[in-house]
Amino acid sequence: MPRTVNLLVADARWSAGVVAAIFCLTVLLNWSGLGPGDAERYVKSALAWREDGFHLGETHWELRYLFVLPMAAMFSVFGPSETAAAVPNVLYAAAIVAVTFYFARRYVGNAEGSVAAAFVAGSVFFVARPLEVEAYGPEAFFVALSCWCFVASRVEKERYAWLIAAGVVAGFAWTVREQTLYLMMVFGLLTLLSRKDVFRSCVALGFGFGSILLIEWLYYWAVAGDPFYRYRIDLSHRTIGQNVELKGSDASLANRFIRPIRDNFTYAMTTPFLLLAALAAWRPGWRTVLAPPSRRQTFILFGWMAFLSVPICGYIFNLALPRYYPVLAYATLLALALACVELWRRHGAAPAAALAVIVLFANVALADFVKYREYSEARFLADYAMKSAEPIETDPLTANRTRHQLMLRGVPSDEASRRIPIRLAPTPGALFFKSHMTQRQPPTWCALVIADVRPVIWTHALIRHAGVDRIAGGKLRATVARPQPVQIVRVLEEEVATDPATGAPCLSPPQK
């Protein structure tokens, strides 16, 4: 490598500065507040901790304390807001970048570790998307740290201390999501295959993991009177939605078998990188690349984790989407970092730089593609409701999001519900907010406000301009469709020219 490049990747301070800059840029470009999924559930629980003190929790979302309690702490320090809600995930994302930088440089190589940390710092999967308050952000951190502790146990002299640490951190991951049990399963398998002091190694792993379980059991026994309180709640939980749990004909044996494979080849945040890693590995000579013992141990561990986490989560836990086994995405970025540096050593700067640019640009494009802009509608309605003397009805999903927006602005829960009532059938004479989610629209209305509130997503616009959506059709067309304006309307029984309540003129409907 050229001397300047050697300095950049070998000197930890220069490398850390570049990685930190990529991470900060990723955060600045992608922070957009709450996103899809269960963000409101975590916010509600964190608000309960802040306002009412100790809060045991009655749902499995509320019992993810390592996710909820940091959010509650941010609310206590800075006050409730979307920014404060996202701070814990920013810190977890920064932590996984730091862990990658330290351990990958130590066990894979200075250059490889620096590139891997840069790839993670710019990742849509590990940084951009978790900022929207996703539970897999902290899960991914604990999974990665636990794996690195196990790698350290295979290389360092303090073998048993590292094994205990791997078990402890795996226990933390378990308290966030139970399917991370695959960590201990793979640790145990590799310990047995290594045939190196198997008994004491298993005891050390079990002691670390078991200590967290014991603490959890004692806590729930003391507080709830049931050491298995969390497990009973989780067992009764059923996530709704075909992406997580199959229903009806989709639950056939064939569909259950094919679903993890299909999801891995159609999941925007991971599929391109899996394909890039497969292409990079499609050449001879990788045995010599993995020859150094610490590097070999690293890729043995992450390879097995990536390979076994998919069937364990997809078939045993029935959770097939890649966000439920982040170790696969993490292992893919490690492999791409190794391939990038090896390309540089064997073929020069151009192909290595091309691969790095492709990886980083793909993350930027995919982060834009998967951005969830529908919360812009809830924010708009919350702003309007704060100034409106009348309640504003809307559909259930938009109402739930808007109520949480109001609560994050200091509005009590009951007052937020009063301001934004849920109506499946709009009430004549009432104000109604028509979002893109509104399916049952008022038969007749007077539009008082029409506004474009969802910002343009440039990747969606490019796809529409190129006509790809017309060729692909189906789901892609719906995903990239131009967002329609929202409307605040007066529900009427007959058409009029002005609002009967305020005398304001009725606006013309937007052009589709």
Min mean pLDDT across 11-25, 439-453, 465-479 is at 465-479
Q: For 116-144, write each residue's pLDDT tens digit.
A: 999 999 999 999 999 989 889 999 999 99
431: nearest Cα among 390, 402, 396:
390
pLDDT tier for residue 362 given thresholds of 50, 70 and 90:
very high
Closest among 71, 73, 263, 96 to 173, alpha carbons compared: 96
Residues 6+ apart with CB under 8 A from 418: 391
Whether 247 has a pLDDT exceeding 50, the answer reads: no
Pairing of strands 486-492, 444-451: antiparallel
**Greatest pairwise CA separation for the chain in angstroms:** 84
Q: What is the mean pLDDT of residues 466-471?
A: 80
13 band by pLDDT with thresholds 50, 70 and 90: confident
Residue recorded with tokens 């608000």? 47
What is the DSSP annotation of 30-54?
H--S--SSSHHHHHHHHHHHHHHS-
**Average pLDDT score, the chain:** 88
Predicted confidence at residue 364, as pLDDT, reads 94
In terms of pLDDT, which residue wins out, 238 or 308? 308
Which position has the higher pLDDT, 135 or 195? Answer: 135
CA distances 501 to 390, 429, 489, 490, Å, are 11, 8, 12, 9
Instruction: Give the predicted TM-score (pTM) of the model.
Output: 0.90
Whether the per-residue pLDDT at 158 is higher than 80: the answer is yes
Q: What is the pLDDT of residue 286?
A: 63
Residue 289: per-residue pLDDT:
77
The pLDDT of residue 249 is: 44
Reply yes or no on whether the pLDDT at 443 is more than 90: no
Q: Are 335 and 280 within 8 A, CB to CB?
A: yes
For residue 4, the model assigns a pLDDT of 46
Question: Is there a contact between 35 and 376 (Cβ–Cβ < 8 Å)?
Answer: no
Cβ 369 vs Cβ 267: under 8 Å: no
pLDDT at site 25: 96
- Range 209-235 average pLDDT: 93
The pLDDT of residue 468 is: 81
Comparing 80-84, 118-122, 328-332, 480-484, which segment has the lowest mean pLDDT?
480-484
- Residue 190 neighbours by CB under 8 Å, 6+ apart: 150, 300, 301, 304
Average pLDDT over residues 156-176: 96
Cα–Cα–Cα angle for 379, 382, 387, rounded to 5 degrees: 135
Dig out the tokens for 52 from the structure.
């009412």
Element (H or E) spanning 488, and its range?
Answer: strand 486-492
Q: If you average pLDDT over residues 180-198, what whole number do you get?
A: 92
Average pLDDT over residues 232-245: 57
Residue 474 CB neighbours (<10 A): 8
Confidence of residue 34 (pLDDT cuts 50, 70, 90): confident
Over 90: is that where the pLDDT of 358 sits? yes
pLDDT classification of 7: cutoffs 50, 70, 90: very low
Task: Encode pLDDT of 248-257 as tens digits.
Answer: 445 577 788 8
pLDDT higher for 70 or 252? 70
Q: How far is CA 309 from CA 174, 252, 278, 317, in A?
A: 14, 22, 18, 10
Give the pLDDT confidence score for residue 307 in this predicted structure: 94
Nearest to 203 by CA among 191, 194, 215: 191
pLDDT band with cut points at 50, 70 and 90 for residue 219: very high
> What was the pLDDT predicted at 322?
92
